[in-house]
Amino acid sequence: SIYQPFLYMSDFWLLEKDYLALNESLANRRLNLTLSYSIASLMAWSMQAQMTEQWHTQGEWQMTDTQRDSFMMKRLLIDTNPYLLAFSGMFLALHTVFSMLAFKNDIQFWRQNQSMKGLSARSMIVSFVCQLITSLYLLDSRETSRLILFEILLDTTLASWKLKKAVKVELKG
């Protein structure tokens, strides 16, 4: 029984700034190759493998630009203070909870509402148009987080439902 450590070659923590485009201008230059090794815990290795597999699956389903998202996530994990990262995670969780509660209460109000007393149909239309423009802009942008995009699209869908419930449109021919 001889101990032979598992050798795993990983480029997981390489960022786009670490890559060098090879072209004709570098043909006569001497390039450095730096290799480093370290011991990885089973948890760290399995987390890397899981994240790599998840990004690969999302890429196959065309859900995201996996390389851009993976670089962004790795930069976030490498460059951000762990305390700030933990605070941001808690803030994001609280924001998500409060947003869902606001959506729930908005739906409850509009389900029970029978009249437009105290409500302005014109302001609802203007608000919906603004939300629609914002949603389309963010949907077109490649920099928008999927979580934010989901929340904005959900809010726009809710606004269209409220508008349909509040404003009766008739077409006369």
Q: How many CB atoms lie within 10 A of CB 156?
A: 20
Query: Is 59 among the domain residues?
Result: no
Query: Is 146 among the domain residues?
Result: yes
Q: How many CB atoms lie within 10 A of CB 70?
A: 21
Query: Is 77 among the domain residues?
Result: no
3-state secondary structure of 32: coil
Among 131, 138, 133, residue whose Cα is nearest residue 155? 131
Q: Is the pLDDT of residue 172 over 70?
A: yes
Question: In which domain, by residue range, is 158 found?
Answer: 116-172
What pTM was estimated for this model as a whole? 0.64
Tell me how many domains the chain contains: 1
Q: Is the pLDDT of residue 139 over 80?
A: yes
Query: pLDDT band at 64, cuts 50/70/90?
Result: low
Query: Is 124 among the domain residues?
Result: yes
Query: Is 87 among the domain residues?
Result: no
